Amino acid sequence: MNIDLQAREIQPLRNTFARVAAYTGDKPASRYLEATLGIQNAANFHYRPTWEPEFELFDAGRTAVKLADWDALRDPRQYYYANWTMARARQQEAMEANYQFVESRGLIDKIPDAQRAAACEVLMPLRHAAWGANMNNCQVCARGYGTAFTAPAMMHAMDQLGVAQYLTRLGLALGSPAHWKPARTTGCRTRAGRDCASWWRTRWSSTTRSSCLWRRTWRSTVCCTR
């Protein structure tokens, strides 16, 4: 019995999606381009949002940023959902290993109480700066237009949420929340947002205090450093 094996080349009918080919031509495209170009919904909406009925559900008029081509933006890192989550998963594994190294050897207990208190006073308020950055980027994603514009904003929002969570975990490792009291009350004598903002202006950079100033826009008298 003879077996004759032959290799045949099958030409694809198309190299990429039509919406991507409109920008790059009919040639193989990266996963990033296929996950970014032409994704933004622009027609056939079922209803207008009840909170802003003057706009469509996705409307370029909602943002002050104006672009002739919303897909002209490109991320040099080529981040889209899949490779962004894989990169963050690797980083999380590294962070977990760091925490495990410190906890397994009891290194926290070897830090003097004064240094632990100082670390809490400096680092714990930064949780709220990260949380403010998370909310600000969520707002960018909500009011922005175009996947190339909004997707990085949401990725950055979730990155900042992770930063806030890791800072909180560090604070719990350094001591119970009762030890965070100096960071929560120093220079913030009342619960009014006005006094809190004054404290942030004197101690932190404009980027860090954005969380506090952002919170003042809401109907809440809870100090952001609590």
Residue 86's pLDDT band (cuts 50, 70, 90): very high
Q: Which residue did the predictor score with more confidence, 203 or 10? A: 10
3-state SS assignment for residue 167: helix
d(CA 124, CA 176): 12
How confident is the model at residue 172, as a pLDDT? 87
Residue 180's pLDDT band (cuts 50, 70, 90): low
How confident is the model at residue 120, as a pLDDT? 86
> pTM of the entire structure?
0.72
Residue 43's pLDDT band (cuts 50, 70, 90): confident
Quick: pLDDT tens for 117-126: 888 888 888 9
d(CA 155, CA 153): 5
How confident is the model at residue 72, as a pLDDT? 87
How confident is the model at residue 10, as a pLDDT? 85
d(CA 128, CA 164): 7
